[in-house]
Amino acid sequence: MIFQNEIVKWYLSNKRELPWRGSTDAYVIWLSEIILQQTRVEQGLPYFLRFLENYPTVADFASASETQILKLWQGLGYYSRGRNMLYTARQIQEKYGGIFPVIYKDLIALKGIGDYTAAAIASFSSNESRPVLDGNVFRLLSRYFGIDAAINSTAGKKAFAELAQALIIGQKPSLYNQAIMEFGALQCKPKSPACPACPLQEGCFARKNNRVNELPVKEKKLRKRIRYFNYFFCSDEASNILVKKRSAGDIWQELYDFPLIETEDVYTEQPLKFETAIKETFGDRCRITLLHQKKHLLTHQTIYVQFFALDNYIINFNQNADIKWVSLGEFEQLPQPKVITDFMSAFVNQINQ
C-alpha cells in the first residue's frame, strides 16, 4: 500500500485546479476525457470550456449539427473524436433519455468510448472500482515496477491491466485514479522526470537501476505514409473562394478545404504529369503561381502541402459537384483542417492586396 498511499498523499498537495476535477457529472467528465485524449491540458482546456458553454448538457450536444461540432473542434486534430462524440450524445439521448450512463458496462458499449475512458467516467462519477490506464499510468507503473513488456502489445496491455486492477483494491477509485494520472503527468514525466523530489524513488525500479529513460517499452510503429497535396486557391472580385467538402474514407472527412490534386511525388519531379492533371481539371489555359509550401505532420502520415494561386481557369461544376463558391465570412464558419486555417490566416490578406 506504500505505492498507493504516497501517490494519493502527493496528489492532495500537488494537484492542479481544473474545472472538471471533482465533478461527478458524467457528461462533464466525458467532455474532458475525450478532448484531452492525445491533447495536452493547456491546449485542451479552452476547447473544454467552449464546448461546455455552447452545449451545457448532453441533450444540447446531441441537437448540434456535425458542422457545428467540427467547427468548434477545429485545431484539436483527430476529428473522428468529434464525430464520435456527436454520435454518442445522440445515442445517449435516444437510449437513455439524455441521462449520461455512469456504469462501466453501459459506457463501454458507447461509440468512441474505450476501456480507459469508460473506467475514468465510471470511477469519477459513481466511484466504480475500475482502474484507469492512460499513457501517464503506463509510464509510472512500468518505471516503478520494472515492467519490460511493451505497453502497446497485447501481452503488455494484459500485464498492466492485471497490475492496475490489483493496485486499486482497497482504494477510493475516484481519488486514486485521479492521483495516479496526475502523478504521471506532473511528477513521472516522459522526459526529465522529477526523480530527486519523487516520494516513490526508494522503491522505484527504474531509478535504482538507471533505466528511467528506457521505460516504458513500446513496439516500433509502422513507417508513416508520405503524401503530396497540391491545393489551388481561387478567388473572384467579390472575394468569394472555391472550397471543397472532403468525403468519407480519408483524413479530415466532412471538413472543408480547397480544390486539390494529390500527386505521387513533389510536382517538380513529374512536371508534365502534374501539368496534364491541372489542365484536365481546370482547362488548357489556366495558370498557376506557387504561394506557399509546408510539411504537415499527422500521427500516421506526413503530408507535403503546396498552395497555388489559380488564374484563367474553368470549373465544370456538373463534374465537380463537391466544389462550390463561398464568401470568406461563410468559409470562416465552416470546419477546416488546421493546414487550411493556417494558410488563410497567414496568406489571404497578402493575396487580396
Which of the residues are catalytic? 33
Instruction: Find cell 463561398 and name the residue.
Output: 326
| Antiparallel, parallel or unpaired: β 240-245 and 323-327 | antiparallel
In what order do the strands lie in the sheet containing 240-245?
256-257, 240-245, 323-327
**Residue 122 cell numbers, joined:** 465510471
Reduce the secondary structure of the chain to three states and give it as a string: CHHHHHHHHHHHHHCCCCCCCCCCCHHHHHHHHHHHCCCCHHHHHHHHHHHHHHCCCHHHHHCCCHHHHHHHHCCCCCCHHHHHHHHHHHHHHHHCCCCCCCCHHHHCCCCCCCHHHHHHHHHHHHCCCCCCCCHHHHHHHHHHHCCCCCCCCHHHHHHHHHHHHHHHCCCCHHHHHHHHHHHHHHCCCCCCCCHHHCCCHHHCHHHHCCCCCCCCCCCCCCCCEEEEEEEEECECCCCEEEEEECCCCCCCCCCEECCEEEECCCHHHCHHHHHHHHHHHHCCCCEEEEEEEEEEECCCEEEEEEEEEEECCCCCCCCCCCEEEEEHHHHHCCCCCHHHHHHHHHHHHHHHC
Residues in the chain, total: 353
